[in-house]
Amino acid sequence: MASLTVRKNIESLTPAELQVLRDAYLRLQSIWDNRGYNYFAGLHGIPNWYCNHHDRSIRTLQNLRLFLPWHRAYLLYFEKALRDQAGPDPKIGLPWWDWTSATSHTIGVPAALAEPAVDGRFNPLSRAAIYAPAANPPIWRWTRRFPGDPRWLPSAALVNSLLDLSQFRDFSIQLEDIHDYVHGWAGGNNGSVGGDMGNLGTAAWDPLFWSHHCTIDRIWYMWQLRQGVNNISPELLPVVLQPFSLTVEDVLNVNALGYEYAISKVAIR
Amino acid sequence: MSQNIPNNPQPQSRTPQSMYAQGKVFQSTTPLPVSTVPEQFVRADLEFIDVDHAGPSFEARVFVNNPNANMNTPPTEAYGFAGCFNVFGHGGCFGDPGHCDVHEKREDSFDPRLSHPLIPMKKVVIATAAIRKAVNQRTDIHVTVVPIIKSWTEKSEADDILRFDHINLITYR
């Protein structure tokens, strides 16, 4: 049986782990069919618009809050595609960007995700090419990023305050708002044009997107540890998270999906 | 399929700080009489109903009883800052004509599709301290919302971006 993938803080990856990650991203970004980066980025906004944010309704007027479950499924499929490109014994998991950390509050986006080149080679974690010929107008360019003042990234205290919210819907609304803020902060603008993280249609092309959402997923996981793994409205459980073959119920337990955020487990007797 | 990626990637230097702009400010037209708010509560929310998110991404700073607030007003309790909500905008329409025309849920009960992605949303600002201050001071409640535009595209509007139907004040005991 395969072991669980450990998703680590990108600030804690070793140089060797980062190199494996960069190599996998580079291979993924060079594939233009439905195994590749461009395909997965295009599921979120332009041109397929599958993503779920805020409340959406289906059949009835009942509101469905699928933001967290849908993005968990999305990250899982992306991570599988990434691991497919990571060699015969892939150990990598998606790294998460802790925008509450002291480093982030000092320099903003961590160097691993920001430096345009490493050892003279293109860093595929810093940007990606957008190829969206079906967009109106068609888009064919590199991603752009104009992050804000690092001091204004969300604090750990703010995140911790969310963990005390006992109702899933309440928690999800507040966490999504912080998520929205970080998108705007990371995308930003240069006075004439906005960055891609700040626009839903192209956000998923920026490699930062995946590590930002990995943090959002981790915060949900931390909340589940405190408030219950199955703490979610029962009517959401059978909803299919299109276009993925998973329901909301399927994505509640991250261990059942094959990954983990804990970095150690020690028995105390 | 192989692709020729457009020029570069030439390294760009670490990016400069973003430049933000203020959008059109919302002012509530009729103050909410403080007498309608319970004196005892443990939490007070300002719910923004049917917020539009089709355009740019922005932060909406919410002030209570500070009609002169703008993007340079310190976001602190002393200035009536109640909290903020943030909109991750779609950045305008990149589809063909009609793509972003919001349609309400169809009458067809056999239609399994989700509602339109641009159905307006609800945002909730937990504003307990600011509402408690107004209640303690027995002042009617006037809300000012200052949108600060973070990111946009060539397809999104630049000024009148803050659109919603109404605000609910919800208290919990």
- Where are the domains positioned within chain A? 5-260
Nearest CB neighbour to A180, from listed B20, B87, B94: B87
Nearest CA to B125 out of B73, B65, B61, B69 is that of B61
pLDDT of amino acid B13: 40
Instruction: Please check the confidence at residue A264 and state whether its pLDDT lies above 60.
Output: yes
Is A152 touching B (CB cutoff 8 A)?
A: no
pLDDT of amino acid A58: 52
In angstroms, what separates the C-alpha of A267 from chain B's closest C-alpha?
40
CA–CA dist B77, B129 (Å, integer)? 8
Given an 8 Å threshold on Cβ–Cβ distance, is B114 in contact with A49?
Answer: no
Contacts of B88 in chain A (CB under 8 A): 53, 179-180, 183-184, 198, 200, 203
CA–CA dist A204, A36 (Å, integer)? 13
In angstroms, what separates the C-alpha of B78 from chain A's closest C-alpha?
19
pLDDT of amino acid B113: 79
Mapping DSSP onto H, E and C, the string for chain A reads CCCCEECCEHHHCCHHHHHHHHHHHHHHHCCCCCCCHHHHHHHHECECCCCCCCEEEECCCCEEECHHHHHHHHHHHHHHHHHHCCCCCCCCCCCECCCCCHHHHHHCCCHHHHCCEECCEECCCCCCEEEECCCCCCEEEECCCECCCHHHCCCHHHHHHHCCCCCHHHHHHHHHHHHHHHHHHHHEECCCCECHHHCCCCHHHCCHHHHHHHHHHHHHHHHHHHHCCCCCCHHHCCCECCCCCCECHHHCCHHHHCEECCCCCCCCC
Mutate one of B1, B7, B18, B50 to test the A interface: name it (highest A CB count within 10 A).
B18
Is A25 touching B (CB cutoff 8 A)?
A: no
pLDDT of amino acid B17: 52
Asked whether the beta carbons of A204 and A44 are under 8 A apart, the reply is yes
Mutate one of A146, A199, A240 to test the B interface: name it (highest B CB count within 10 A).
A199
Instruction: Please check the confidence at residue A98 and state whether its pLDDT lies above 70.
Output: yes
Q: How many CB pairs under 8 A join A and B?
A: 176
pLDDT of amino acid B163: 95
Instruction: Please check the confidence at residue A95 and state whether its pLDDT lies above 70.
Output: yes
Return the CATH class of domain B39-93+120-172. Answer: mainly beta
Taking the CA of residue B173 as centre, how many other CA atoms within 13 Å lie in the half-sphere pointing to its CB? 4
- Residue in chain A nearest B109 by alpha carbon: A59
Q: Concatenated DSSP letters for B43-105?
A: EEEEEEEEE--SS-EEEEEEEES-TT--TTS--SGGGTEEEEEEE----S--SSTTTT---PP
pLDDT of amino acid B15: 43
In angstroms, what separates the C-alpha of A22 from chain B's closest C-alpha?
15
pTM for this one?
0.93
pLDDT of amino acid A54: 77
- Average pLDDT estimate for A51-77: 80
Given an 8 Å threshold on Cβ–Cβ distance, is A45 in contact with B90?
Answer: yes
- Average pLDDT estimate for A36-59: 86
CATH of A5-260, one of 3.40.190.290, 3.50.50.60, 1.20.140.10, 1.10.1280.10: 1.10.1280.10
Q: Walk along chain B (173 residues) and give the pLDDT tens digit of each residue.
A: 444 555 444 434 444 456 899 999 999 999 999 999 999 999 999 999 999 999 999 999 999 999 999 999 999 999 999 999 999 999 999 999 999 988 765 667 787 777 888 888 999 999 999 999 999 999 999 999 999 999 999 888 777 899 999 999 999 99
In angstroms, what separates the C-alpha of B74 from chain A's closest C-alpha?
13
Domain ranges of chain B: 39-93+120-172
pLDDT of amino acid B106: 61
More confident of the two residues B5 and A119 = A119
pLDDT tens string A198-240: 999 999 999 999 999 999 999 999 999 999 999 999 989 999 9
Is A45 touching B (CB cutoff 8 A)?
A: yes
pLDDT of amino acid A18: 95
Given an 8 Å threshold on Cβ–Cβ distance, is A116 in contact with B11?
Answer: yes
- Residue in chain A nearest B110 by alpha carbon: A59
CA–CA dist A168, A175 (Å, integer)? 10
pLDDT of amino acid B105: 59
- Average pLDDT estimate for A4-13: 94
